[in-house]
Amino acid sequence: MSEFPYTSGATVLTGAASGIGDALARGLALRGVDLAVIDKNAEGLAALAADLRAKYPRLNISTHAVDLSDADQIAALPEAVKSQHRRVSMLINNAGVALGGAFQDVSLADFEFVMDVNFWATIRMTKAFLPDLLEAAPAQLVNLSSLFGIIGVPGQAAYSSSKFGVRGFSEALRPELAHQGVKVLQVHPGGIKTNIANAARIGENVRREQVGDVRSSCNKLLTMEPRVAAEQILAAVAAGKNRLVITKEAKFLDVIARLMPSNYGSTIGKLMAQKSGISAEKLIV
């Protein structure tokens, strides 16, 4: 394995206790990167850290159980991280949550929760750690958007709004930081086999009898192992890329959205029906 950049400082990684975050933590540890791993799931973090410390005893791995919907907890993170790491050379904003249901069936409180974790936590984490990245430059910021930050999908108004926001933030920030030695990589994963569908909140007015079938159908759309996605992300970091779309279906829909920006919906519906066995309309729940 060729030498990985940004090993001179720690990587701060959110959503590290499961899914892509867990796989990123393991991939970074393999590459000799010190880690400050963050998640709301303290047990999951502890298990991850124990495993990595056993395998890589020379690495400095700190755990931080934080609710990323809480701005005050995020504000306290830099001091906590820097008490255990000399410098921070990479920040990966990976944590995310989902909300199922048509817009009219979800509460504003649930919508705000998704925005807090997916969008505002990305903004707040970047604001909190940007001074450290600038000090460590050359440094790296990685923001995970989504395929749903490229296309809008029925039943995912909150999730798409948050991920379009992450995309816009990343694209605007990249040229601002380029001359200061901080690269910005935006990542748009497609269907990755994580627990996001099972863990998703469901709108308060959604018909409960359909929830189980819809979760099962959504899980059929998740085809790529997190480890594979994580390796693609780390390879993109090493190559200095600005943008990464993951899974062949996501790459196809990325092209379709650019070629047919006003009427890509029918293509999305057909692909979702083919992969999951359920129509896009029914996925709205």
Residue of 6, 56, 159, 264 marked catalytic: 159
Q: How many helices (H) and strands (E) does the chain have?
A: 13, 9
Query: Residue 71 and residue 137: Cα distance in Å, rounded?
Result: 26
Closest CA to 94 of 27, 187, 158, 29: 187
Contact 98, 199 (CB under 8 A): yes
Characterise 63 by phi-psi region: left (phi > 0), alpha (psi -120 to 50), beta (else).
beta
Active site residue 56: no
Tokens 């099972």 locate to: 198
User: Amino acid identity, residue 239?
Assistant: A
List Cβ neighbours of 48 (8 Å cut-off, separation of 6 or more): 16, 17, 22, 25, 37, 63
Tell me the catalytic residues: 159
